[in-house]
């Protein structure tokens, strides 16, 4: 069968840059699905996307579907012919319905019954007939929130469509897509090469567009931008900050990328660099430059869509545009310094945190009380913790945070430093919001850890205390995320404290505002314990490992963490599967039979296998007990792996449910002793293998 190269291009007005890549990938995926559903084989599909076009090149696609046979089923052979082998009325009805004669009837086996059927030859449809429908269906299925319609057209798309190209090798496929008749004409760069370009073959697309100042491949444009940006940064010994989203957006804004380096006055570097970087990235789509110490440099890189004869004009134009933005940030920064941080508490006293829980100043005083109580646990200086807590929310009333909300905490750190606060206090103001998302860094200072914990615990107990716990997908105070933050702050800083004690300290800071302390305590503890699964699954830990530890309900997050790591390590050992199965068997036996009091009576051990297991337990117990005491669960479980052979031998050679009551009681005690050793760490009978 003949194979072809097909080119499809949809030319539009400038497509939305933030979703260009998503549109390209969806068109690619939908077209693959359409071709597969139609049974048209192909080697590969290359997808292209630029501001004014989405395109596909389908390589080695078959010219038509294969011819097939379609089976139409009739009555059973028994019912189709009479005793003399003549067609019955049932068969005649079937032949009439299919428009066939007796010689066209076939038979087939349907289970045990033989039936008559008609095998109709179906000719495969051509690529030319199928492809326009496949492409139109793919366009209709693109993830577009808001569709537009251009004046005369009835069909809608994300932007008005201007032209359509559909070529099979060097022939146009006759089609109307998005109300545009397909042709051979495309267009180059809007400014450099606006005239029509006629394509004579599907393979010419990339080269002809490149000659017209359009790089159609998204990846190729991105690689050009990466290379140019790096070269411009290297010239001034700097490193460009290139966030993935901004990189994609800039790639989607240009057809012919030309990176240019511009500069701004050094005096602006006195302003918090986070504010300058935010305004340059978000509003201007610039790449900022920093030195090896991550300090902002007085340069930025802009990616132009034009190869200018006089690039200095473009550079100066961008410098002119950015200056007022940087001046605004500088103005807010200087205004804020006219008022000390601590004096902003009056404004906080007028800002409601939550109607029943009072203002942000009320919250600050609670955090301060709680931070002092947490200081002995975190190792922070109580005076630093208290001071930091009272300053923590003050920058929320500053002009800088008003303009750049993402600078909350960061602005506070700058102002506290300017006012001469010590490093612990100043740093902690920015660190209080860490971790902001799964996998984010934690505070480096002990004071920062204390404030981060106190803030989250205060919100959690407060919201639970007024009966507004998260339900379903509603979690307005992001308590699920902040609960994982609490668990991480405790485990990764190795704080030896139970969840219950943390909640009690937070409740004490709330005092009488919360009515039912007992209910709040139970609910909040259950909620935090319920987040272990999400926390460890995020880290790639298997669910059965988490459940094995949860079965024992350890009280402290640090202890829980050590047990999870131990079980995770144990699970990979060659002995794990057999020991998990043995523990399951033991658990089932002990669940049915009450374990008799007292210790194993050595004289009542009769079988070699039970004597061997008893001897092994006697040998291993003094080895693992100090490990349990030191919470070195990983070493303890690794040592217990040695029990695999004696345990297997025991189950092979010993009947636990012996008729002799003494033997049975003794064997149950032996199994209980074995089970106790393992459940000092986790219930490994839960592990799936």
Residue 335: pLDDT band by 50, 70, 90 thresholds? Answer: very high
User: What pLDDT was estimated at residue 2?
Assistant: 87
> Across the chain, which distance is largest between two alpha carbons, in Å?
112
Tens digit of pLDDT for each residue in 567-590? 999 999 998 999 999 999 999 888
Measured between alpha carbons, how far is 187 from 193 in angstroms, rounded to an integer? 8
Helix (H, G, I), strand (E, B) or coil at 574: coil
Residue 604: pLDDT band by 50, 70, 90 thresholds? Answer: confident
Tokens of 100: 């066939």
Across 414-443, average pLDDT: 96
Across 527-545, average pLDDT: 94
CA 424 to the chain's CA centroid: 33
Tens digit of pLDDT for each residue in 119-162? 988 888 899 999 999 999 999 988 876 776 665 555 678 889 99
Percent of the chain with pLDDT over 70: 98
User: What pLDDT was estimated at residue 433?
Assistant: 97
Q: Which residue has the higher pLDDT, 564 or 689?
A: 564
Helix (H, G, I), strand (E, B) or coil at 416: helix
Measured between alpha carbons, how far is 466 from 507 in angstroms, rounded to an integer? 12
Measured between alpha carbons, how far is 509 from 221 in angstroms, rounded to an integer? 57
Percent of the chain with pLDDT over 90: 80
Measured between alpha carbons, how far is 304 from 221 in angstroms, rounded to an integer? 12
Helix (H, G, I), strand (E, B) or coil at 439: coil
Helix (H, G, I), strand (E, B) or coil at 54: strand
Choose the weakest-confidence range: 28-42, 424-438, 657-671: 657-671
Cβ atoms 8, 166 nearer than 8 A: yes
User: What pLDDT was estimated at residue 607?
Assistant: 85
Across 351-362, average pLDDT: 95
- In what order do the strands lie in the sheet containing 44-50? 44-50, 53-62, 3-12, 161-168, 171-172
Residue 249: pLDDT band by 50, 70, 90 thresholds? Answer: very high
Measured between alpha carbons, how far is 195 from 189 in angstroms, rounded to an integer? 9
Across 97-125, average pLDDT: 89
User: What pLDDT was estimated at residue 398?
Assistant: 96
Tens digit of pLDDT for each residue in 364-406? 999 999 999 999 999 999 999 999 999 999 999 999 999 999 9
Tens digit of pLDDT for each residue in 486-517? 999 999 999 999 999 999 999 999 999 998 99
Nearest 10 degrees: Cα torsion 138, 143, 149, 150: -70
pLDDT value at 594 more than 90? no
User: What pLDDT was estimated at residue 152?
Assistant: 58
Tens digit of pLDDT for each residue in 34-92? 999 999 999 999 999 999 999 999 999 999 988 888 899 999 988 899 888 889 999 99
Choose the weakest-confidence range: 88-102, 233-247, 270-284, 599-613: 599-613
- Distance set, CA 243 to CA 246, 320, 336, 499 (Å): 5, 24, 29, 37
Measured between alpha carbons, how far is 129 from 137 in angstroms, rounded to an integer? 14
Among 448-457, 535-544, 639-648, which range has the highest average pLDDT? 448-457
Owner of token pair 């205060």: 458
pLDDT value at 664 more than 90? no
Measured between alpha carbons, how far is 347 from 661 in angstroms, rounded to an integer? 78
CB atoms within 10 A of CB 372: 19
Cβ atoms 55, 48 nearer than 8 A: yes
Measured between alpha carbons, how far is 374 from 572 in angstroms, rounded to an integer? 38
Cβ atoms 318, 262 nearer than 8 A: yes
Mean residue pLDDT of the chain comes to: 93
User: What pLDDT was estimated at residue 149?
Assistant: 65
pLDDT value at 293 more than 80? yes
β-sheet bridge partners, residue 471: 474
CA 365 to the chain's CA centroid: 36
409-431 CB burial, b ≥16 within 10 A, e <16:
bbbbbbbbeeeebeebbbbbbbb
209-225 CB burial, b ≥16 within 10 A, e <16:
beebbbbbbbeebbebb
Could you give the count of Cα atoms lying within 13 Å of 677 in the half-sphere of its Cβ? 29
Tokens of 136: 């139109």
Measured between alpha carbons, how far is 4 from 77 in angstroms, rounded to an integer? 46
pLDDT value at 281 more than 80? yes
Q: List the one residue out of 419, 418, 421, 440 whose CA is nearest residue 431.
A: 440
User: What pLDDT was estimated at residue 154?
Assistant: 59
User: What pLDDT was estimated at residue 70?
Assistant: 87
Across 547-552, average pLDDT: 95
Domains and CATH numbers, the chain: 3-64+126-211 (3.30.70.260), 68-122 (no CATH), 219-336 (no CATH), 344-540 (1.10.3210), 565-686 (1.10.730.10)
Cβ atoms 390, 421 nearer than 8 A: no
Tens digit of pLDDT for each residue in 196-217? 999 999 999 999 999 999 999 9
pLDDT value at 682 more than 80? yes
Could you give the count of Cα atoms lying within 13 Å of 605 in the half-sphere of its Cβ? 18
User: What pLDDT was estimated at residue 431?
Assistant: 97
**What burial class does residue 509 get, using C-beta atoms within 10 Å of its C-beta: 0-12 exposed, 13-18 middle, 19+ buried?**
buried
The 3-state secondary structure of 294-352, one letter per residue: CCEEEEEEEEECCCCCCHHHHHHHHHHHHHHHHHHHHHHHHHHCCCCHHHHHHHHCCCE
- Distance set, CA 557 to CA 131, 170, 490, 565, 681 (Å): 58, 68, 7, 12, 14
Tens digit of pLDDT for each residue in 12-26? 999 999 999 999 999
pLDDT value at 248 more than 90? yes
């Amino acid at each position: 069968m003949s194979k072809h190269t097909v080119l499809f291009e949809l030319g539009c007005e400038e497509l939305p840059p933030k979703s260009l890549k998503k549109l390209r990938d969806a068109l690619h995926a939908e077209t693959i699905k359409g071709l597969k559903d139609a049974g048209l084989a192909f080697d590969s599909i290359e997808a292209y996307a630029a501001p004014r076009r989405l395109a596909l090149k389908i390589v080695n696609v078959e010219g038509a579907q294969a011819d097939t046979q379609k089976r139409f089923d009739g009555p059973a052979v028994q019912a189709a012919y009479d005793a003399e082998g003549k067609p019955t009325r049932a068969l005649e009805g079937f032949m009439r319905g299919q428009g066939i004669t007796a010689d066209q009837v076939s038979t087939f086996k349907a289970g045990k019954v033989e039936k008559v059927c008609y095998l109709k030859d179906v000719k495969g449809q051509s690529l030319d007939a199928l492809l326009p429908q496949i492409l139109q269906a793919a366009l209709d299925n693109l993830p577009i929130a808001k569709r537009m319609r251009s004046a005369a057209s009835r069909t809608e798309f994300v932007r008005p469509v201007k032209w359509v190209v559909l070529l099979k090798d060097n022939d146009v496929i006759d089609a109307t897509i998005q109300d545009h008749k397909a042709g051979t004409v495309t267009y180059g760069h809007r400014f450099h090469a606006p005239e029509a370009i006629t394509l004579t073959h599907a393979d010419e697309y990339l080269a002809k567009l490149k000659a017209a100042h359009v790089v159609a491949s998204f990846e190729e444009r991105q690689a050009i931008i990466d290379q140019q940006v790096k070269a411009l940064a290297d010239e001034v010994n700097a490193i460009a900050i290139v966030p993935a989203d901004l990189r994609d957006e800039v790639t989607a804004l240009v057809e012919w990328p030309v990176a240019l380096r511009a500069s701004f006055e050094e005096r602006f570097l006195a302003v918090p660099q986070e504010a300058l970087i935010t305004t340059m990235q978000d509003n201007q789509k610039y790449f900022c430059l920093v030195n090896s110490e991550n300090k902002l440099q007085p340069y930025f890189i802009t990616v132009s869509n034009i190869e200018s004869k006089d690039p200095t004009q473009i550079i100066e134009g961008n410098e002119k545009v950015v200056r007022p933005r940087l001046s605004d940030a500088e103005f807010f920064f200087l205004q804020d310094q006219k008022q000390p941080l601590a004096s902003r508490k009056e404004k906080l006293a007028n800002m409601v945190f939550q109607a029943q829980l009072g203002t942000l100043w009320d919250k600050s005083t609670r955090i301060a009380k709680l931070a002092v109580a947490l200081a002995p646990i975190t190792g922070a200086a109580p005076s630093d913790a208290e001071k930091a807590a009272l300053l923590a929310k003050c920058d929320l009333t500053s002009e800088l945070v008003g303009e750049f909300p993402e600078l909350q905490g960061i602005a506070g750190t700058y102002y506290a430093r300017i006012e001469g606060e010590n490093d612990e206090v100043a740093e902690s103001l920015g660190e209080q919001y860490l971790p902001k998302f799964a996998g984010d860094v934690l505070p480096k200072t002990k004071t920062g850890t204390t404030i981060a914990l106190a803030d989250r615990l205060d919100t959690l107990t407060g919201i639970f205390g007024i009966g507004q716990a998260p339900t379903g997908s509603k979690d307005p105070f992001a308590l699920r995320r902040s609960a994982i933050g609490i668990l991480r702050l405790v485990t990764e800083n190795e704080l030896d404290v139970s969840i219950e004690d943390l909640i009690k300290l937070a409740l004490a800071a709330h005092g009488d505002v919360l009515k039912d302390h007992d209910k709040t305590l139970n609910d909040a503890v259950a909620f935090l314990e319920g987040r272990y699964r999400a926390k460890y699954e995020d880290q790639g830990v298997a669910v059965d490992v988490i459940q094995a530890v949860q079965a024992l309900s350890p009280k402290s997050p640090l202890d829980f963490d050590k047990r999870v790591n131990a079980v995770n390590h144990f699970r990979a050992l060659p002995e794990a599967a057999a020991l998990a199965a043995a523990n399951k068997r033991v658990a089932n036996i002990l669940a049915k039979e009450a374990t008799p009091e007292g210790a194993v009576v050595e004289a009542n051990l009769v079988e070699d296998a039970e004597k061997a297991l008893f001897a092994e337990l006697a040998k291993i117990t003094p080895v693992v007990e100090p490990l349990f005491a030191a919470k070195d669960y990983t070493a303890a479980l690794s040592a217990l792996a040695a029990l695999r052979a004696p345990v297997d031998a025991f189950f092979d050679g010993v009947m636990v449910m012996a008729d002799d009551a003494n033997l049975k009681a003794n064997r149950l005690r032996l199994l209980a002793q074995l089970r106790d050793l393992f459940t000092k760490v986790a219930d490994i009978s839960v592990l799936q293998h």
